[in-house]
Amino acid sequence: MKISLVLYVYPGIEKYLNDLIRSINNQSNKEFDVIIFNDNCNSLNVLFKDLEIQYSIVDVTGSINQIRFNSLKILRAIKSEYFIFQDADDFMAKNRIEENLKALKNYDLVVNDLSLVNENSQILENSYWAKRLGNGFEFDEKFLRDKNIVGLGNTSIKKSLLIDPRLSFSALPLAFDWFLFYQIFKLNNLKALFITNTTTYYRQHQENIAGIKKLDFPRLKHVLNVKNAHYNALSNIGFDFKKELYQLSQIQVDVIDFLKFNSDKENFNLLWWEETNNLKNII
């Protein structure tokens, strides 16, 4: 069985690479290689000089969405049975490869938990979603229609799911991985597994499209925009999100409404995009 860890790097990511490289070198299972998709970073061989695992660099250009989609064609040609995705600004628990491979024996797609860290790699909260979902939680596309836990930093997948010619491109979504993964779930009637016995250390910083942070009004407006773009992109390629788009269109919340709504509510380990799901009464 051949396994590849897949990274996407871009200018600005350099300051986080030492944590990532250290976590790759410390993996309990080292029977994998690393594929680095490089979007205009300079001197990558210098930046990855301390990486002890065999790696290859593939130079790519285009928008974020184009790069992610076009990289699928390259991954299809690689002789790996499984791909484990990792965001380059985050880092991994030492058993991430090992535990994901165990789970992939019975599931075609596996998602592991997140632990939150700050810019300086200090842990803010361990096992963030374990409190909500629990180890061994199974889910399908219905679970993903109004929230998300499947990202390029915490997902492992069987290669066969990536070679589906029905997968479509769109320039609309602000989080292309979620757009891609929803298609994979829906087209394959897929049931996936969530595990908590390993984690991705998920860095909280301003550049995150989907940070997990205190819900404030600007954050809420951002989530609404991301979610709306996601639904429109999927609708444009034939998936039915009329109900969800209508519900979003009815949310017209201003700062005063938001403060009244949020004053007595705790954001208990929210899933990605879940921030908007309790706003349907604010119209």
Cβ–Cβ contacts within 10 Å for residue 244, how many?
17
Chain length of the chain: 283
Name the average pLDDT for the chain. Answer: 90
Give tens-digit pLDDT for 104-127.
999 999 999 999 999 999 999 999
The pLDDT of residue 270: 83
pLDDT interval class at 214 (50, 70, 90): low
Residue 215: both structure tokens together: 């819900």
Q: Is the pLDDT of residue 40 over 70?
A: yes
Type of residue found at 275: E
Question: 282 lies in a domain?
Answer: no
Q: What total number of domains does the chain contain?
A: 2
In three-state secondary structure terms, 25 is helix
The pLDDT of residue 255: 56
Q: Which of 180, 203, 226 is the last residue of a domain?
A: 203
Mean pLDDT for 182-195 is 98
Give tens-digit pLDDT for 9-24.
999 999 999 999 999 9
In three-state secondary structure terms, 88 is coil
Question: 209 lies in a domain?
Answer: no
Q: Is the pLDDT of residue 219 over 90?
A: no
pLDDT interval class at 260 (50, 70, 90): low
168 and 85 share one domain: yes
Contact present, 99 and 197 (Cβ < 8 Å): yes
Contact present, 56 and 33 (Cβ < 8 Å): yes
In three-state secondary structure terms, 191 is coil
245 and 196 share one domain: no
171 and 260 share one domain: no
pLDDT interval class at 282 (50, 70, 90): very low
Give tens-digit pLDDT for 60-92.
999 999 999 999 999 999 999 999 999 999 999
Question: 212 lies in a domain?
Answer: no
For the whole model, what pTM was predicted? 0.92
Which of 3, 19, 198 minimizes the C-alpha distance to 91?
A: 19
Phi, psi of 80 (to 5 degrees): -120, 145
Determine the structural domain holding residue 124 and report its residue range: 3-203
pLDDT interval class at 266 (50, 70, 90): low
pLDDT interval class at 209 (50, 70, 90): very low
Q: Domain containing 154 — which CATH number?
A: 3.90.550.10
Which of 168, 179, 254 minimizes the C-alpha distance to 209?
A: 179
12 and 135 share one domain: yes
99 and 44 share one domain: yes
For residue 73, the Cα-to-chain-centroid distance in whole angstroms is 19
45 and 174 share one domain: yes
Question: 11 lies in a domain?
Answer: yes
Q: Is the pLDDT of residue 239 over 70?
A: yes
Give CA–CA dist 88/67, Å, rounded. 15
Share of the chain above pLDDT 90, in %: 77
The pLDDT of residue 259: 57
Residue 25: both structure tokens together: 């070198």
Contact present, 23 and 53 (Cβ < 8 Å): no
Q: Which of 178, 203, 228 is the last residue of a domain?
A: 203
Residue 150: both structure tokens together: 């499947």
Question: 100 lies in a domain?
Answer: yes
185 and 234 share one domain: no
Q: Which of 143, 177, 203 is the last residue of a domain?
A: 203
96 and 135 share one domain: yes
The pLDDT of residue 262: 58
Question: 195 lies in a domain?
Answer: yes
Q: Is the pLDDT of residue 100 over 80?
A: yes
150 and 243 share one domain: no
The pLDDT of residue 236: 98
